[in-house]
């Protein structure tokens, strides 16, 4: 029993649950599951846990993330925890929540010390835990596609059919037979099986429905200049229609959110904002929620705020969108500076005034 007590004492001296979980011998990898399904560097996440930095991708004032556990000797199947933790007004982890989670984990794993395998302890530790959550199915598809690459396991059984579809083999009207998991697998493997070339060529011909699904997967990937060029061309074609589809345009904006050619993404955003439909709230939230980094460019930021001030859903949508933007790390000061811009329109000034009036009254 002495060995177990020593282990428990050592665990209780650890201040972060990342380090605590690593004491089990598991290899741990971290992913954001909120705004983007992307890897979170361990050291950066540790800084967040120690309340040194804000969470990089806050959503609804919470950090949504996944923890992937792997046995160092690969004797067991990897398993995953999905956690969400509340953030303070600066986007930093609430220490009370961190300490509560640590306490729950230590107690639950302490109860499982008799388990033969460390993995069994970990798998049981989140039972009835208020900080766990179940991601949406589309998020899970993207996550599984990314993890299968990391673990060097084959893609899903839907991958081959999706790959063939993007090559145009079954016909563009056959999209209803393509599984979402297959689309996510193709997006996560753009550098394999000539997928990037196939997707780039397919963008001109695909119907809106499969294109929207593909775009929502691509938003998590760092896409190339040729692919972003094809997205921009499809957006311009849509804008030339008599009645452009806001949902499709929003998806195209999301698809290029992590582009390696940000100037092309900025061209798309400016073109959309200049269009008559550029005040549609779905377009504006796609920009602020997925492509917010582009709003650090003055050519995009002020036009964005002007269209947001006249958005299709009214003042409440303006308030919500601005609150979300101001909460993102690195966005508060640039946005506040823009809101003081003497070149802003009267309509934008009125929307900003109503925003701050609501804050003061609250």
Dist. CA 162–CA 165, nearest whole Å: 5
Residue 256: name the closest of 236, 228, 229 by CA: 228
The confidence score (pLDDT) of residue 275 equals 98
Phi, psi (5° rounding) for residue 38?
Answer: -140, 155
Whether this model's pTM surpasses 0.85? yes
Dist. CA 319–CA 325, nearest whole Å: 10
Dist. CA 22–CA 109, nearest whole Å: 13
Helices (H) and strands (E) in the chain, counts: 18, 4
Dist. CA 233–CA 89, nearest whole Å: 40
Question: What is the CB neighbour count within 10 angstroms for residue 149?
Answer: 15
The confidence score (pLDDT) of residue 112 equals 52
The confidence score (pLDDT) of residue 104 equals 83
Given its phi and psi angles, is residue 86 left (phi above 0), alpha (psi -120 to 50 degrees) or beta? Answer: beta
Give 21's pLDDT tier (boundaries 50, 70, 90). confident
For residues 184 and 145, the answer to whether their CB atoms sit within 8 Å is yes
The confidence score (pLDDT) of residue 246 equals 97
Give 11's pLDDT tier (boundaries 50, 70, 90). very low
pLDDT: which is higher, 243 or 4:
243
63-67 mean pLDDT: 97
Dist. CA 230–CA 202, nearest whole Å: 9
SS3 66: strand
For residues 150 and 29, the answer to whether their CB atoms sit within 8 Å is yes
Residue where the block lists tokens 């993330």: 65
Residue 208: name the closest of 234, 189, 227, 229 by CA: 234
Residue 188: name the closest of 226, 168, 210, 217 by CA: 217
Give 124's pLDDT tier (boundaries 50, 70, 90). low
Dist. CA 89–CA 78, nearest whole Å: 35
Give 207's pLDDT tier (boundaries 50, 70, 90). very high
Dist. CA 326–CA 310, nearest whole Å: 19
Cα separation values, 7 from 4, 12, 120, Å: 5, 9, 17
Residue 3 has pLDDT above 60, yes or no: no
**Strands (DSSP E) found in the chain:** 26-32, 38-40, 62-71, 79-86
* 339 Cβ contact partners less than 8 Å away, ≥ 6 residues apart: 305, 352
Query: Residues of the chain with pLDDT > 70: what percent?
Result: 89
Dist. CA 34–CA 59, nearest whole Å: 6
Give 70's pLDDT tier (boundaries 50, 70, 90). confident
DSSP 235-300: HHHHHTSSS--HHHHHHHHHHTTT-S-HHHHHHHHHHHHHSGGGG-HHHHHHHHHHSGGGGGSHHH
The confidence score (pLDDT) of residue 122 equals 59
């Amino acid at each position: 029993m002495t060995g177990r007590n020593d282990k428990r004492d050592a665990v209780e001296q650890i201040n972060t649950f990342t380090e605590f979980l690593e004491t089990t011998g598991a290899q741990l990898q971290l992913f954001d599951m909120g705004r983007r399904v992307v890897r979170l560097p361990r050291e950066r996440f540790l800084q967040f846990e120690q309340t040194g930095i804000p969470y990089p991708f806050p959503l609804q004032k919470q950090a949504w993330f996944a923890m992937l556990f792997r046995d160092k000797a690969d004797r067991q199947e990897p398993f995953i925890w999905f956690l969400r933790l509340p953030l303070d007004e600066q986007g930093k982890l609430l220490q009370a929540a961190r300490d509560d989670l640590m306490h729950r984990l230590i107690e639950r794993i302490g109860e499982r010390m008799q388990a033969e395998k460390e993995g069994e302890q970990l798998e049981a530790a989140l039972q009835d835990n208020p900080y766990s959550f179940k991601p949406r199915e589309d998020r899970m598809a993207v996550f599984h596609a990314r993890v299968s690459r990391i673990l060097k396991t084959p893609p899903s059984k839907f991958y081959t059919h999706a790959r063939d579809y993007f090559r145009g083999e079954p016909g563009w009207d056959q999209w209803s037979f393509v599984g979402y998991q297959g689309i996510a697998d193709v997006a996560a493997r753009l550098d394999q099986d000539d997928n990037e070339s196939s997707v780039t060529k397919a963008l001109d011909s695909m119907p809106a429905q499969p294109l929207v699904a593909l775009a929502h997967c691509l938003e998590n990937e760092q896409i190339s200049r040729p692919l972003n060029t094809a997205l921009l061309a499809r957006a311009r074609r849509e804008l030339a229609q008599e009645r452009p589809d806001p949902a499709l345009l929003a998806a195209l904006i999301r698809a290029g959110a992590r582009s390696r050619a940000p100037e092309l993404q900025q061209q798309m955003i400016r073109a959309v904002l200049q269009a008559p439909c550029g005040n549609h709230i779905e377009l504006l939230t796609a920009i602020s929620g997925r492509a917010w980094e582009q709003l650090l460019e003055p050519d995009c930021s002020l036009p964005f705020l002007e269209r947001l001030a006249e958005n299709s859903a009214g003042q409440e949508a303006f308030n919500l969108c601005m609150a979300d933007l101001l909460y993102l790390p690195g966005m508060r000061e640039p946005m506040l500076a823009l809101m003081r811009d003497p070149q802003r329109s009267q309509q934008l000034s009125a929307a900003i005034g109503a925003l701050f009036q609501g804050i003061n009254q609250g």
